[in-house]
Structure 1
């Protein structure tokens, strides 16, 4: 029965995607669904999303958090730009609800408290910090998460007790100069040429080669319908990745120095800078061990993988960085996911939903 309910939740979330910080109907759906199953969910006060407590919350028993993310990406699907669940958040929500149903009325709740967190805005990298501001993380001892993995990282039926994400960041800005007539290129600096120089300079950034990293321009909009105008303005975006928080700081500093140089050399302004980032994982060995035991219980030791290291990112890790005493780790779930995360046509084996739900459930029981 729990498998059918997991699929019910998954399909509803999948068919009704909402963007980050706009998950109003998603929040209402999860809230009403949990109430209908006899739980007592609580909506967040200042943001979308909700949480639900089960078990015993006192100073004598462990307190475990389990986090699911609920937002969708914005991308073009079949020629239409729309919200789309191509990162698996619909699956994560279904699996966490499934774990709640398995745990309901379990005697283990007499000796532990479990807080199930349905977090908004993971795709913006801001949701975890916003949830932390709601004041529901401080009293937790452990925090577990789960994420579908692409087929090249994990096969169907396998699972890892931790995903070691790197740090990821984005920087948006505008090059602001003056337009000029196409016949008078000496009267301005071409924003397109400036952008090309920035791309070239980004490629010359070198940090410790032992640590995976990358930095690249991912957005550039300049010019208009009149092709005899040399544009002086451009909208730009840069994506930064580093496997450690220290090297991300290094990468970030180098990028800002490039922009400062461009301003000075070309006499233009770099305006409206918006920098956002998520930290690299700082997983806890105790949490990893409980997840390891949960995977063995659910799938068998032969399907237990080593921790997965990936250059992708997840704002889940803000929780453990912000609260150093919080012991956290994220399950990596094999599910035959292809052609890849964030691909508009991403698919995976839905039988994996029961696997993930069972792992979460068994891992909670392992915590003493």
Structure 2
């Protein structure tokens, strides 16, 4: 398998360079979709695209048992060298390259899955809405095992190491609006100051307590009130809250406490506070069997000593909507060490590109082992690392 990977290495770098040099933001991945579609067709895959959104699904093989790989497609919109632009600073270009790498590797070694294999290129991960759209499209309805991959920053995993699961936390962005009463600044008793209401809200948020054994936080990250005139008590303000929790249960508690705080502050100040839910990401729900299979693939590829424990991170990933919305789906996400610096979402993020070959091999072995796991005992000589060299 390693020799086959070496033989397609230059082709893979061309794929990565193209994707890296043509980033597109969430729901605007039109050229990316077309490029991936053509790559899949070239490799002999049946292709599904969508009339109302970006994204593409490749499929090969047939049968009642289906394994799928998912890679995210979208880039970030950020300032790079004093210019605002789309930028692949979260590794999605690498994730797409690895998923395509598995496709190309299987064709080069002549591996044909004893079932159905799907390659899901999903849009809009950064907005937390892409996975939900793919679920709505029914693309995972026939899937039994779903695997993802994400590069990890150097602080979590060094180059040459990999983890069979990433335990992302839950995240919610909540937008808020305060409606008070305007008044002359010399007569504050006649008004309801939206800034004072916002200040009280911040103070009360700090008093929210949940299980201290579970990482969680709630904080105000944006606040706007007032206009040009400095002698007016502002009646209106908008704000943004960022909520984080390592489990979905604790997130539910945070939201409940928040709603109680808002009710209390509203009554005390005689103001109206309206909340609107923004981006929502659920915490990871990793299936133990999927994790076990990926762990085996990691050890086969780089050795047991380089197989790290599951990575626990407060960051969010919409990949986990698949398992939450489809409880029968067995999922996990490969965490790939690649000396990624200085960090995810940094405009100058870099990593060791050579480590993508390790990721491709791990994912390929994971797919093969999953099909082997699902086959009847009498047929388990088919496809089980038969092409390893």
1:32 Cα deviation after fit: 2.4
For 1:58, the equivalent position in structure 2 comes to 63
1:178 Cα deviation after fit: 4.1
* TM-score between both structures, scaled by the size of structure 1: 0.93
| Pair 1:224 & 2:230 matched | no
Distance in 1 (CA, whole Å) between partners of 2:190 and 2:18 is 57
| Pair 1:349 & 2:349 matched | no
SS of equivalent to 1:265:
helix
SS of equivalent to 1:302:
helix
5 Å-filtered alignment, 1:107-122, equals 107-122=110-125
Could you tell me which of 293, 297, 309 is aligned with 1:294? 297
| Pair 1:46 & 2:49 matched | no
1:44 Cα deviation after fit: 2.7
Query: Which range moves more in the overlay, 344-353 or 2-11?
Result: 2-11
| Pair 1:146 & 2:149 matched | yes
5 Å-filtered alignment, 1:9-88, equals 9-55=15-61, 57-59=62-64, 62-88=65-91
1:45 Cα deviation after fit: 4.1
For 1:205, the equivalent position in structure 2 comes to 208
Distance in 1 (CA, whole Å) between partners of 2:193 and 2:335 is 46
Could you tell me which of 248, 253, 260 is aligned with 2:251? 248
Deviations 1:40-80 (A, max 9, x none): 3221343210100122x212xx3101000111223333333
| Pair 1:7 & 2:13 matched | yes
Distance in 1 (CA, whole Å) between partners of 2:85 and 2:330 is 36
Unaligned 5+ runs, structure 2: 1-6, 373-389
Distance in 1 (CA, whole Å) between partners of 2:364 and 2:9 is 13
1:231 Cα deviation after fit: 2.5
Equivalent residues of 2:128, 2:317 under 8 A apart: yes
Distance in 1 (CA, whole Å) between partners of 2:332 and 2:167 is 9
Equivalent residues of 1:170, 1:239 under 8 A apart: yes
For 1:278, the equivalent position in structure 2 comes to 281
* TM-aligned CA distance change 1:310 to 1:302, over 3 Å: same
For 1:92, the equivalent position in structure 2 comes to 95
Equivalent residues of 1:6, 1:353 under 8 A apart: no
Equivalent residues of 2:113, 2:368 under 8 A apart: no
Q: Which has the larger radius of gyration?
A: 2
* TM-aligned CA distance change 1:261 to 1:4, over 3 Å: farther
* TM-aligned CA distance change 1:221 to 1:296, over 3 Å: same
1:261 Cα deviation after fit: 2.2
Distance in 2 (CA, whole Å) between partners of 1:312 and 1:9 is 27
* TM-aligned CA distance change 1:323 to 1:182, over 3 Å: same
Equivalent residues of 2:43, 2:103 under 8 A apart: no
Count residues with an aligned counterpart: 365
* TM-score between both structures, scaled by the size of structure 2: 0.88
| Coordinate RMSD, CA, aligned | 1.9
| Pair 1:258 & 2:258 matched | no
For 1:126, the equivalent position in structure 2 comes to 129
Distance in 2 (CA, whole Å) between partners of 1:271 and 1:72 is 32
Unaligned 5+ runs, structure 1: none
Equivalent residues of 1:6, 1:354 under 8 A apart: no
Distance in 2 (CA, whole Å) between partners of 1:272 and 1:204 is 19
Distance in 1 (CA, whole Å) between partners of 2:205 and 2:86 is 31
